[in-house]
A and B are shown apart, each in its own frame.
Chain A
């Protein structure tokens, strides 16, 4: 049986009960994240409404597929801009994040649609592009911020390396390595736990849509491997790119301020 997916206003309000509970916990424990919770909830709702409207427009019969690709390109640019905004301690990060996320998106979408895993249609291009870009975004933000934090924390060690004549790239490499590990850990853990702890979105959606579970599993496996590859690629590129931004061309470590909320 296929689920229709009808959720009325009451159903939506019911789903907010746990958000209300989280706000209550924040207030009682003085976590001071209640405003962020409200803002995130509202923002997600508005963004999904916009996304739904755009998808409805893109899915209209006869609509050119290039609009879908243009939407994905827009998501890439927005993701790179978000990386820059969330890791402001790394100067001029936008072009690096853009190059990393664009490359990962082109590669993964090329595999998914070039090899015919999914038909190249708007209903597949936009959500799958969003999955690749969204997961890469999390990894790249984490990688950039960890590199900056590591270099700020380990400044004496880094400068001792520079004082031995190491290049900026060589002096920063151990800290980039650590940042890449940190950035990839959530995705690696998610990949390890898939099927045991949670059923990922694409697979759940396919099963709800009536696709055979075995077919849904194979599709999900392909998507997860590509996401893992995309996160690894973007994290490595952004971590190493951040090194070039956090040192001067004459191999000095720039002044850095550690973010306590990192």
Chain B
């Protein structure tokens, strides 16, 4: 089976500055892939290419063997869901938020999806302002799941959360992977999270690939040591 994503010679320019510089890497199927890097290394920019929220200035991206830039972006985004660093809850109730993703969803459908992210049905009438950071992020995850995606892109989803809420989100995501055969690409700069989650590791440094492969190798540890030094840990 073709890899989940293949990046070949990817360049991304923002204004006149290069954010990604000739990135060539593969994200394999059925392994939780972690894209790691210090702040400004280009990891979020790479993730945003995977559902076409951005497009590369140069290079080619393949999704399961197909040229990603030739796929219908709206259909792609429903297949490749995304959870952002800051939970973006839309105005209105949790029910309104979930219906944004599926206009015909019944309360039963929404209750089932909320249950899958460990939130009970009483939350359906809660408004965004009344949710904690962890609850809001899990509602965002549930909202993405309403599209029944095959892939979840997680852009530092725990960066703004309390450690216990972060741990819950990690566990929920792992459970979703096994229960729904979801592919997950997780962006983080947290070394402990990298060691807990990564089954495939891609380390970026200043827009270039520093390491891509098995997280257990000596070269992977070297790359993570470089990351730790840059993060001042």
Is the CB of B26 closer than 8 A to any CB of chain A?
Answer: no
Minimum CB–CB distance for A246 against chain B, Å: 15
Contacting pair A165 B75 (CB below 8 A)? yes
Q: How many of B's residues come within 8 Å of A, CB to CB?
A: 25
Contacting pair B90 A157 (CB below 8 A)? yes
Contacting pair A163 B55 (CB below 8 A)? no
Contacting pair A162 B55 (CB below 8 A)? no
Q: How far is the CA of A230 from the CA of B88 in the complex (A)?
A: 36
Q: Among the listed B14, B54, B73, B84, which residue makes an inter-chain contact with A160, where contact means beta carbons less than 8 Å apart? A: B84
Is the CB of B77 closer than 8 A to any CB of chain A?
Answer: yes
Is the CB of B112 closer than 8 A to any CB of chain A?
Answer: no
Contacting pair A161 B100 (CB below 8 A)? yes
Is the CB of A164 closer than 8 A to any CB of chain B?
Answer: yes
Which residues of B in the span 49-85 have a Cβ within 8 Å of any Cβ on A? 51-55, 73-75, 77-78, 81-82, 84
Is the CB of B150 closer than 8 A to any CB of chain A?
Answer: no
Q: How far is the CA of A164 from the CA of B101 in the complex (A)?
A: 6
Q: How far is the CA of A160 from the CA of B137 in the complex (A)?
A: 12
Q: Which residues of A contact B146 (CB under 8 A)?
A: 164
Contacting pair B82 A251 (CB below 8 A)? no
Contacting pair A164 B78 (CB below 8 A)? yes
Minimum CB–CB distance for B17 against chain A, Å: 13
Minimum CB–CB distance for B219 against chain A, Å: 33
Q: How far is the CA of A160 from the CA of B143 in the complex (A)?
A: 10
Minimum CB–CB distance for B154 against chain A, Å: 12
Contacting pair B74 A251 (CB below 8 A)? yes
Q: Which residues of A contact B73 (CB under 8 A)?
A: 250-252
Q: How far is the CA of A165 from the CA of B143 in the complex (A)?
A: 12
Minimum CB–CB distance for B228 against chain A, Å: 29
Q: A137-176 CB contact bits vs B (8 Å, 1 = yes)?
A: 0000000000000000000110111111111000000100
Minimum CB–CB distance for A168 against chain B, Å: 9
Minimum CB–CB distance for A176 against chain B, Å: 15
Which residues of A in the span 78-120 have a Cβ within 8 Å of any Cβ on B? none
Q: Among the listed B14, B75, B77, which residue makes an inter-chain contact with A163, where contact means beta carbons less than 8 Å apart? A: B77
Q: Which residues of B contact A165 (CB under 8 A)?
A: 74-75, 77-78, 101, 147
Q: A58-88 CB contact bits vs B (8 Å, 1 = yes)?
A: 0000000000000000000000000000000
Q: How many of A's residues come within 8 Å of B, CB to CB?
A: 16
Q: Among the listed B52, B78, B81, B100, which residue makes an inter-chain contact with A250, where contact means beta carbons less than 8 Å apart? A: B52
Contacting pair A252 B101 (CB below 8 A)? no
Which residues of A in the span 4-44 have a Cβ within 8 Å of any Cβ on B? none
Q: How far is the CA of A156 from the CA of B86 in the complex (A)?
A: 8
Which residue of A is nearest B80, CB measured?
A163
Which residues of B in the span 18-57 have a Cβ within 8 Å of any Cβ on A? 51-55
Which residue of A is nearest B143, CB measured?
A164
Contacting pair B78 A160 (CB below 8 A)? no
Is the CB of B117 closer than 8 A to any CB of chain A?
Answer: no
Which residue of A is nearest B72, CB measured?
A250
Contacting pair A160 B90 (CB below 8 A)? yes
Q: How far is the CA of A170 from the CA of B147 in the complex (A)?
A: 16
Q: Which residues of B contact A164 (CB under 8 A)?
A: 77-78, 81, 100-101, 143-144, 146-147
On whether A250 and B82 interact (CB within 8 A), knowing A162-B77, A165-B147, the answer reads no
Contacting pair A157 B55 (CB below 8 A)? no
On whether A163 and B74 interact (CB within 8 A), knowing A156-B88, A252-B54, the answer reads no
Contacting pair A157 B101 (CB below 8 A)? no
Known contacts A162-B77, A164-B81, A165-B78; 19 additional CB pairs below 8 A are A156-B84, A156-B88, A159-B53, A159-B88, A160-B88, A161-B90, A162-B53, A163-B53, A163-B84, A164-B77, A164-B100, A166-B100, A250-B52, A250-B55, A250-B73, A251-B73, A252-B52, A252-B54, A252-B73
A sample of 25 inter-chain contacts (CB < 8 A) reads A156-B86, A157-B88, A159-B53, A160-B82, A160-B88, A160-B140, A161-B100, A163-B51, A163-B82, A163-B84, A164-B77, A164-B100, A164-B143, A164-B144, A164-B146, A165-B75, A165-B77, A165-B147, A167-B74, A174-B90, A251-B73, A251-B74, A252-B53, A252-B54, A252-B55
Closest 5 CB pairs of A and B: A165-B78, A160-B88, A163-B82, A156-B88, A164-B101
